[in-house]
Each structure stands twice: as structure tokens, then as C-alpha cells.
Amino acid sequence: IDIPHITIKSICCIGAGYVGGPTCAVIAHKNPHIKVTIVDLNAARIAAWNSDELPIYEPGLDEVVKSTRGRNLFFSTDVDAGILEADLIFVSVNTPTKIKGIGAGFAADLGYVESATRKIAEVAKSDKIVVEKSTVPCRTAQSMRYILEANAKPDIHFDILSNPEFLAEGTAISDLFYPDRVLIGSLDTERGRSAAASLADVYAGWVARDQIITMNLWSSELSKLAANALLAQRISSINALSAICEATGADIDEVSYACGLDTRIGPKFLKASVGFGGSCFQKDILNLVYLSESLHLPEVATYWKQVVEMNEYQKRRFTNRVISCLFNTLTGKKIAVFGFAFKKDTGDTRESPAITLVNYFREEKAYISIFDPKVEESQVWMDLTEPGVVDETEAVKKQVSIAADPYEAAAGADAIVICTEWNDFRETVLDYERIYASMKKPAFIFDGRLILDAKKVSQIGFKVETIGRPRTT
């Protein structure tokens, strides 16, 4: 960008999570002349980033980290040193939904953003460009500016930018290598534009200039919430249609295909499922709902809230179908749950629909055996218990077990419920004849992700129930 600006030589990223880790590893990989230090308060996480077993699973991440770590990419718990050395600091900390107090269940908890920002103000001894990487409600950059300006040492200047991250878990590395766009929001001042130009140079290490979009701070912040809200809305829309398909004999895959051929609609993100999950969609829509309410726009809030309600309804609806096909009772029955991650190619279970389904099955007194190729066993116990409730895991273990493979999960089961669309569960990969032979009869499969060729699998003898298609039994 054609205005005077500094060249970034050293970057610090606060937060070594699903976003900070991969994003800044790619920045370091593509810009060998920039020193990138990713810092986190979580020592175990940093130790894992420095080991052979990275703390998160993403296709391609290992290669990027291992080829760059120790060259110009570093992971550390020394937050102060990272801040002191950097020209530019990404704030990539978690922004969960608030659990307690006013706005609980809706508003974003910005406590982590606040403490990271306070830390920058307290430690910095030279000018810094501070980049909001976390997803935050519109105008959070203003609050960060107040904190920075009110606490800065004399003669130190902070510039603030918004640079939301659009990567999707499971495809993070390819999303980062080939982004649809990079968004940089800045204040409409000379300093603001100059800071934006410095950050644009970092991305220009591998992203075409015309894909690096600059705009005002508030548009940039809102664009991230809007993009996630629109994506989740598409899923809830197709899921709402899947309910109509099941009741009428229409087939949701055919309906999606027909709609997707309209170039105004497009084919992507039109797959019906048991519901969306992940740490972002629900949180970001609820953020939008809260923002709308606080701006006295109740109709707008109601509109977006419905996207989340439809998602909850889809999980209940699918569970009811399982119960009703299994003769209206799950008591004492064994259900094999295939997949616990919120989507394929990740070990992340945050807001995974599988958690909700397993809890519903537990309420119905079923025995549940879970298999997921990437989710750690300890994570499953954490997800199925309330934090701090002593001995709850032991109670859960009376009803829930973790299987070493899909065959073990399905042995003796009354039904398989596919919760995650892992390729490992396709009939072209798994030996469903072997699975069928080991199950109770009639043996049911509930395909909550539309990954099976229902005809082929039912020829083996299975009763196949697919989301978005009418009942077969």
C-alpha cells in the first residue's frame, strides 16, 4: 500500500490456540525474515507446541511447524518478552460466551482480551501495532484503545487494527495458504492506514494484494460476526428443510443440489446434518443477538436467535427419531456413536452435536460406546461431566465407554449413530458386513451426516435411517 509505513521485523501472538498457533506458524513459514513468537499462559500447551505431539490436529500443520520452529518461529510462556520485542502483536485469545451474570449465555466474555490488552500496555516500552485477531463484538477495538491509551507509558503510541480470522478447523492450513480474503480494519487516520499497510505487507508474503482488503475497524469487526452468522444460517435453513423432506418423501440431497445450481445460492455449505457445532458459530451468533439487544433492535435479535434454536431443534428431532425407531425406548440398549468431534479432520469437540446426543441417550438410559479417530479419551470425559463435580466421571463411565475402533464400538449394539462425517465411516472404508454380523438384530444405522450410500448398506441387512430422508422402518 502506497503510504509510508514501517516494515515489521518481529511479531508476537498472544494465544497459542486453534487460531493463534496455525495462523502465526504460517506467517512465520511464509516470511522467513520476520521473527514470530507465539506466547500463552498455558505452559502445557506451549510445551506441546515445542514437542513432536502438537496440541491440536490439523492436516498439514505438522510440516509447517516443524520446518519453521527454531528458525523464525518460537513458542514461549514468556508473554512479557514476546511483547517487548515485537513491532506488531496479535491478540488471539479465547472469547467464550459469558457463563455468569448479566448477559450470561449470550454476551461474549471479553475478560481474556482485556487482560491481554492490559498486559501489552503495562509491558510495552516502544510503539506497537496491536491486532485484534480474536472474534469480538463490534466496537471492541474502541475499548482496547481506551485501555492502551489510558495505561501507556509517556511517548509510546499504540495503533489498533482488526484482522479477523476466517480459517475453518480441519482445513486451517489450506485456508491460511489460500484465503478467500484477508481483512484489515483500521481507523480512518494517517496512522491507522499506515499500520494497516504494515500488516498488509506481512500477508503479501504469500497472499495476492487484491485479496487483502482494507476497511474501517467496525466494518471489519462486524464482517467476521456476519460471515459466521450467514454460514450458520445456511446450515439451519437446510436443516429446517430436511425436516420437511423427512415428512414428505423429498430427499434433502436432491433439494440441496437443485438449489445449489442457482448461481445466486451456490452449492457450498448446503449439507443437512445433525446440527452445527464448533466453538464459533453459536457463540458468534449469540454475540450478534446480544449486540442487537443492546442496540435496542429486538426484532433483529429474534431473527438471529432462531438460527441457534433451529440447531438445537435438529439435535432433539434426530434423537427422537432414534428413540422412535428403536421401539420408543433406549433403556438398556447399546448405541454406538461414530464420531465425537464437531466435524471431520479435527480433534476439537467444542459444542459438538455428539455431546448433546450422547447426553440425550444417557437420559434415556442407553449404554453408549464412542469411537472417534482423533478425539482424546480424556476430552470425552471432560465434555460429558460438569466441571468440579467430584466422581461424576465414574457415574458417566457406568453408561459410556470409549472404543478402540468402530468394530469394537458396534459389537453387540442395537444401533450406530453417525455424528461426525469422518471419511473413516464411509461404506467404502469400513467393513459394514463385519459390523452387521456383530450387532443385535434388527441392526440400525442413523446417518446424521449423509455420508453413507444407504442403498448399499441396507442391502447388507441394516435398517438405514438418514437425516433429510423419510423413515424406512
Residues contributing to the site for ligand NAD (CB under 6 A)? 14-20, 39-42, 45, 79, 92-95, 112, 115-116, 134-135, 165, 167, 169, 279-280
Spot the catalytic one: 245, 280, 325, 419.
280
Rounded CA separation 363/309 (Å)? 21
Active site residue 280: yes
In angstroms, what is the C-alpha Rg of the chain? 24
Rounded CA separation 407/405 (Å)? 5
Rounded CA separation 15/62 (Å)? 18
What is the nearest approach in angstroms of ligand NAD to the Cβ of residue 387? Answer: 15
> Could you tell me which residues come within 8 angstroms of residue 244 by beta carbon, excluding any fewer than 6 positions away?
250
Q: Return the number of the residue (239 or 279) whose C-beta is nearest ligand NAD.
A: 279
What are the grid coordinates assigned to 446, written together? 442413523
Rounded CA separation 38/81 (Å)? 11
What is the nearest approach in angstroms of ligand NAD to the Cβ of residue 89? Answer: 11
Q: Return the number of the residue (136 or 418) whose C-beta is nearest ligand NAD.
A: 136
What is the nearest approach in angstroms of ligand NAD to the Cβ of residue 278? Answer: 6
Rounded CA separation 192/211 (Å)? 19
What is the nearest approach in angstroms of ligand NAD to the Cβ of residue 341? Answer: 12
Q: Return the number of the residue (69 or 317) whose C-beta is nearest ligand NAD.
A: 69
Rounded CA separation 280/138 (Å)? 16
What is the nearest approach in angstroms of ligand NAD to the Cβ of residue 93? Answer: 4
Q: Return the number of the residue (19 or 288) whose C-beta is nearest ligand NAD.
A: 19
What is the nearest approach in angstroms of ligand NAD to the Cβ of residue 131? Answer: 12
The residue whose Cβ lies closest to ligand NAD is 17
Indicate the angle between helix axes 217-248 and 298-325, nearest 10 degrees: 40
Q: Return the number of the residue (41 or 460) whose C-beta is nearest ligand NAD.
A: 41
Q: Return the number of the residue (203 or 361) whose C-beta is nearest ligand NAD.
A: 203
Q: Return the number of the residue (40 or 427) whose C-beta is nearest ligand NAD.
A: 40
What are the grid coordinates assigned to 352, written together? 459438538
| C-alpha closest to that of 18 among 381, 274, 349 | 349
148, 165, 355 from 398: Cα distances, Å: 51, 41, 17
| C-alpha closest to that of 197 among 114, 129, 122, 272 | 129
Query: Which residues face 335 on adjacent strands?
Result: 368, 415
Rounded CA separation 259/266 (Å)? 8
CA angle 121, 127, 131 (to 5 degrees): 70
Q: Are strands 182-186 and 158-162 parallel, antiparallel or unpaired?
A: antiparallel
What is the nearest approach in angstroms of ligand NAD to the Cβ of residue 467? Answer: 24
Rounded CA separation 349/326 (Å)? 27
Give me the active site residues, please: 280
